[in-house]
């Protein structure tokens, strides 16, 4: 199932060519997943996941530019595609606007790992975190 997030790019996200550049696209992906990995996780009573999640791998395929206007909001559809003991893979479809019918600006994938901020290293997902992620993306 797909979790949908709406993100507002900033005027400063555009580069010299007038569209959102790579570094800022990566930030939009991050802002799209923050509500579920941090906000919803806290609401679900999880304490460790919101402390840290690191990006292990990232890939972005660009299909159309995002041009920022004062009204610009992009739709980011996030799907859980794989879950292992210590990583979660999320796939993204980023639309140029807020509607599902708006053109696709980019598709992306991130492999994420929960991070132990005390031991300063990646860690395994807890059973509660695994169930939370399965439920959030199944209910989306």
The tens digit of pLDDT for each residue in 52-79 reads 999 999 999 999 999 888 888 999 999 9
- CA 56 vs CA 4, 26, 61, 108: distances in Å: 22, 13, 17, 14
Domain residues of the chain, as ranges? 2-139
Closest CA to 60 of 116, 11, 1, 20: 20
pLDDT > 80? residue 139: no
Summarised one tens digit per residue, pLDDT across range 21-59 is 999 999 999 999 999 999 999 999 999 999 999 999 999
pLDDT in tens, 84-94: 999 999 999 99
Domain boundaries 2-139, corresponding CATH code:
3.10.129.10
């Amino acid at each position: 199932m797909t979790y949908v997030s709406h993100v507002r790019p900033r005027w400063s996200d555009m580069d010299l060519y007038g569209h959102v550049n790579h570094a800022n696209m990566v930030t939009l992906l991050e802002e799209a997943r923050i509500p579920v990995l941090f906000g919803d996780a806290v609401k679900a009573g999880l304490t460790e996941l919101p402390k840290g999640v690191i990006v292990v791998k990232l890939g972005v395929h660009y299909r159309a530019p995002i041009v920022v206007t004062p009204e610009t909001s992009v739709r980011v559809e996030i799907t859980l595609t794989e879950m292992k003991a210590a990583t979660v893979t999320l796939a993204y479809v980023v639309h140029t606007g807020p509607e599902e019918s708006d053109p696709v600006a980019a598709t992306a994938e991130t492999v994420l790992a929960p991070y132990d901020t005390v031991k300063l290293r990646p860690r395994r997902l807890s059973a509660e975190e695994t169930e939370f992620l399965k439920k959030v993306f199944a209910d989306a």
